[in-house]
Amino acid sequence: MVTKEEIVKALKGCYDPEIPVNVYDLGLIYDIAIKAGKVSIKMTLTAPGCPMAKMISYDIEAKLKKVKGVNEVSVEVVWDPPWTPDRMTDEAKRVLGIS
């Protein structure tokens, strides 16, 4: 059975190419649902209209499909609630020089 920890580890390997911090630590991942080998991700982006949206979604899907036990992945981009820097981990804030 796939665990949330395995999914989070895989997500930490996915980056917005414009920001040197992974999508999980940026706080872009709003929900992770795992059921019988199917992983559903609800995520947002730092700004609506981000030109990297499809690329980031495809990267997440590809990396999650490599996790043992994952047979299906769906990634849904949502805009509510809006992303703010408050969602970032302390490590992400440190890397980006945000206090």
Pairwise CA distance, residues 17 & 35, whole Å:
30
Q: What is the pLDDT of residue 93?
A: 96
Residue range 4-80, CATH number: 3.30.300.130
CB 76 within 8 A of CB 43: yes
pLDDT of residue 48: 87
The pLDDT value recorded for residue 27 is: 97
The pLDDT value given to residue 63 = 98
- pLDDT in 10s for each residue of the chain, 99 residues: 899 999 999 999 999 888 899 999 999 999 999 999 999 999 999 988 888 889 999 999 999 999 999 999 999 999 999 999 999 999 999 999 997
Task: Please name the amino acid found at residue 40.
Answer: S
Query: What values do phi and psi take at 61, rounded to 5?
Result: -60, -45
The pLDDT value recorded for residue 16 is 86
- In the prediction, which pLDDT does 44 show? 96
